[in-house]
Amino acid sequence: MMLSGLFVVLCLAGAELDGSEAFLRGADLQRAGNYAGAIEQFIEAEAAGTALRPYAMLRIAACRDDAGDGNGAIGICRQVLQTYPSGPWGRLAEAQLYEVHAKRGTLESAVKIGESFMNVPVLPWWLEDVAWKNGESLLKVPGDEDTGYAYFRGVVENSIFPDKRLSASRKLMASASPRDRVTALKGMVRSSAFDEAAKSMEQSPLQLADAQGQPIPAVTVARKLAAQSAAERQAALAPILADETNSTRLLLAAVYAARKDAEAGNMDAALAMTRLLVDVFPAARETGDTVWWLAKRVESKQGYDAAVPLFELLATGCPTHFRADDTVLYMAEQELARGQRAKAEGYYERLGDTYADSRFRDFAYYKGAELAVELGQTDAAVAKFRKAVSVGPGRYYAHRALDRIGVDGGLNLRVDGSRPVLQVMPELREPLPPTPTLFRESVQYKRLQFFGRHGLDEGEWEALDLLIRLGNDPGQEIFYQPIAEAGFAHTALQYAIEHGWGAQGDAKTVARQRLELPRAYWDDAIALGKETGVDPYLMLAVAKQESTYRATVQSHAGATGVMQLMPSTAKWLVKVEDGIQDGHYDNLKSPANSLRLGAFYLRRMINTYDGNLVFAVAAYNGGPGNVNKWRRQFSTADLDAWIESIPFTETRDYVRKVLGYYAAYHSLYPPVEY
């Protein structure tokens, strides 16, 4: 195999990580707030060798800053940048300088540094909070306000988090730019803060220009257009749609009018405005949201039958909206509840065939197959089961369908009696490409493994540096695998998606699927499997769903680490499990600790439910108390039906995803050998 020049550069052999034990002791003391003791250990690590020296120096800088010596921190960071001008620690040094300046209020210096270290092809997930803080700082620096507002416009347009999008919208409302104000209103509507947006639009109505160039309320224009035929409105629409800001004004005005008319009981006007939205802005998130809102309102007041035309309008008129597949699934379930099995089967088939990216696609085909069985359509049922299988590994009902058509892939999830099982797709098990010796012996690889193994933030900077330097280099596949296995799969996947690596349309290579489901922290997982009897692939399936293997992530509720254990649960495990000690509870960001706690908790749940993984996984997410209640409430004779009866949407999806990932792991990798 020919090696690219970049591969050779990245794989130059490096020194052993001398000083690593002192580095870890320092990290423990730093976390405990003993900055003086931590500095002593980091000085020892710095003196021990070159491989960790820049990082040890930056840890000393961080301790000095936390202890109140900002000047000392700045001096050390600058020393690192001068002494070691190239390396993954460069961006980390700049990030620490940024934090010191931001804390001091020297914002001009902070934003200048931020411009440097956040100038990356893809902003990694762990820099998003810093980017937000930098955006706020830019708004306070004279002359940089426009750059700050540009950042918050990006958040409104791209963030998947409603709360974050709404907060960014509120910041944009302070801008003097009409474009920013319109974007802010758009963000409010997208974040389900319609009342807030409506109040603002009423206080300062959106304006367009008439044929003579005079301002006219956008709502007035929308109402006139809604009353016209498509052909009649074409000429009036052309100049409006040619300008992005005016186009958005019309969109928001139509959304406002549709909802206000519906709330006032003027349903004909609301329906006309909704059809205008679908005709003119079919791909807009706001259009689909409005159709869904109106459909549910009609359903609540007039019943399901009256709302069906609106549900159909959303499904067919806004096929890219995130609720389009939800809507078809909802109609299928409504028909099924009415006993209209043939009609429900048609909806399930339609969902699977129409929405290739739907998260319900495997479920839709599977349910359609079950209905075909009930209707005596054996051949049709087998064909639908095969369609469910074709959705691919990692989807729960794809693996269930394999079992239903009699395929023995060698995996039988241990469940009671004749309960359902999942089967694997062993044809995906391509040989695992080894990490080349040249890279394994490099200092980058050694640092990556060290930081990942111990859940240290430096590893993300190390991985980011590798990914940026890698870009679209032909040797990228060799690097993605070890980066993911070290625990940095989330960041690696961000860059793989950016470069289109391993995917073409809906099809993904086995290497790409392994990047999405890597054998992260594998040595620890194997050791815990031997100790607890829990399948390492099940541990990693849980880790995938809980944290995407991220050691440092923490939920709003306080769940922390790879397995997202709550501190209270971890503390309880110390009391009830001999294999869990106080040291495992003290640092939940350590992957080894988190995996250990998660494995022991999983074992308890598996034992509690006599090996039934459906109940065990449901209990991991929803709690054993709820699972016990649901077992009493719903028949457990059919676990498929039991899963779909779980009243918590989060837990229902969690069970499907974790067990789907579990079967995918066994499909993509060789069986575990202890």
Q: How many angstroms separate the CA atoms of 12 and 622, rounded?
A: 48
Residue 536's closest CA among 515, 553, 521? 521
Band of pLDDT at residue 637, cut at 50, 70 and 90? confident
Catalytically annotated residue among 546, 644, 650, 673: 546
pLDDT of 327 higher than 60:
yes
Residue 539's closest CA among 600, 449, 581? 600
Band of pLDDT at residue 421, cut at 50, 70 and 90? confident
Q: What angle do CA 307, 309, 310 make, to 5 degrees?
A: 65
pLDDT of 1 higher than 50:
no
Q: Would you state the CATH architecture of domain 15-183?
A: Alpha Horseshoe (1.25)
pLDDT of 377 higher than 50:
yes
The CATH class, in words, for 525-547+556-668 is: mainly alpha
Who contacts 578 (Cβ-Cβ below 8 Å, separation ≥6)?
none
pLDDT of 471 higher than 70:
yes
Both tokens of 316, joined, read: 């067919």
Phi, psi of 557 (to 5 degrees): -80, -10
Q: How many angstroms separate the CA atoms of 594 and 592, rounded?
A: 6
Residue 315's closest CA among 269, 366, 353, 268? 353
pLDDT of 84 higher than 60:
yes
- pLDDT for 354: 95
- pLDDT for 582: 81
- pLDDT for 157: 93
pLDDT of 414 higher than 70:
no
Q: How many angstroms separate the CA atoms of 204 and 216, rounded?
A: 12
Average pLDDT over residues 347-353: 96
- 15-183 and 323-391, same CATH topology: yes
- pLDDT for 76: 98
Average pLDDT over residues 126-130: 94
- pLDDT for 6: 57
Checking phi first, is residue 554 left (phi over 0); if not, alpha (psi -120 to 50) or beta? beta
Is residue 21 annotated as part of the catalytic site, yes or no?
no
Average pLDDT over residues 90-100: 96
Exposure string (b/e) for 515-550, b if CB count within 10 Å is 16 or more? Answer: bbbbbbbeebbbbbbeebebbbbbbbbbbbbbbbbb
Average pLDDT over residues 4-11: 58
Residue 515's closest CA among 548, 470, 468? 548
CATH pick for 323-391 out of 1.25.40, 1.10.10, 1.10.490, 2.60.40: 1.25.40
List, for residues 644-658, the tens digit of each pLDDT value.
999 999 999 999 999
- pLDDT for 584: 81
List, for residues 578-632, the tens digit of each pLDDT value.
888 888 888 889 999 999 999 999 999 999 999 999 999 999 999 999 999 999 9
Q: What is the domain partition of the chain in residue ranges?
A: 15-183, 205-302, 323-391, 437-516, 525-547+556-668
Q: How many angstroms separate the CA atoms of 38 and 32, rounded?
A: 9
Exposure string (b/e) for 377-389, b if CB count within 10 Å is 16 or more? Answer: beebbbebbebbb
Band of pLDDT at residue 418, cut at 50, 70 and 90? low
**Neighbouring C-alpha atoms within 13 Å toward the C-beta of 480:** 27
Question: Which has the minimum average pLDDT: 145-154, 253-262, 291-300, 496-505?
Answer: 496-505
Mean pLDDT of the chain: 92
Q: How many angstroms separate the CA atoms of 133 and 397, rounded?
A: 42
Average pLDDT over residues 558-567: 91
Q: How many angstroms separate the CA atoms of 515 and 590, rounded?
A: 22
List, for residues 35-81, the tens digit of each pLDDT value.
999 999 999 999 998 899 999 999 999 999 999 999 999 999 999 99
Average pLDDT over residues 450-467: 95
- Which 3-state string (H, E, C) describes 136-204? HHHHHCCCCHHHHHHHHHHHHHHCCCHHHHHHHHHHHCCCCCHHHHHHHHHHHHHCCCHHHHHHHHHHC
Q: How many angstroms separate the CA atoms of 227 and 101, rounded?
A: 57
Three-class SS state of 324: helix
pLDDT above 90 as % of the chain:
80
pLDDT above 70 as % of the chain:
97
Average pLDDT over residues 100-127: 94
- pLDDT for 581: 85
